[in-house]
Amino acid sequence: MRHLINWFKPQTIRQLITTLAPDRQTKLPWWVEVQTSVPRCTYYFGPFDYYYEAKASREGYVEDLEGEGARDIVALVKQCQPDVLTIDQGYYSSTGQHH
């Protein structure tokens, strides 16, 4: 077996692994994406290996943000790879002033 593996080029081995076990190589991790209107932010919590792990954690993140005064919270579980974990879109007061 070792001789067979040495015969393949590294990229060929990666292609073989991807073909035989695509879930291990191509799936993105699961994240909890939380959007709030006050403050106007998007937060990413994770990564999780499985959907059910992210879903089970979602409520705790929402409760923490509510405890910090966040409002209008929407939390989704999605497969992605965020570049930034917190996106601050600025805070707008009821008068429309940006803070």
* Res. 95: pLDDT tops 50: no
The tokens describing 91, both together, are 């805070």
- Determine if the peptide bond prior to 29 is cis (ω within 30°): no
Please give the model's pTM, rounded to 2 decimal places: 0.66
Diameter of the chain by CA atoms?
72
pLDDT of residue 39: 95
Each residue's pLDDT tens digit, 9-48? 555 545 555 555 555 556 899 999 999 999 999 999 999 9
Distance of CA 39 to the CA centre of its chain: 20
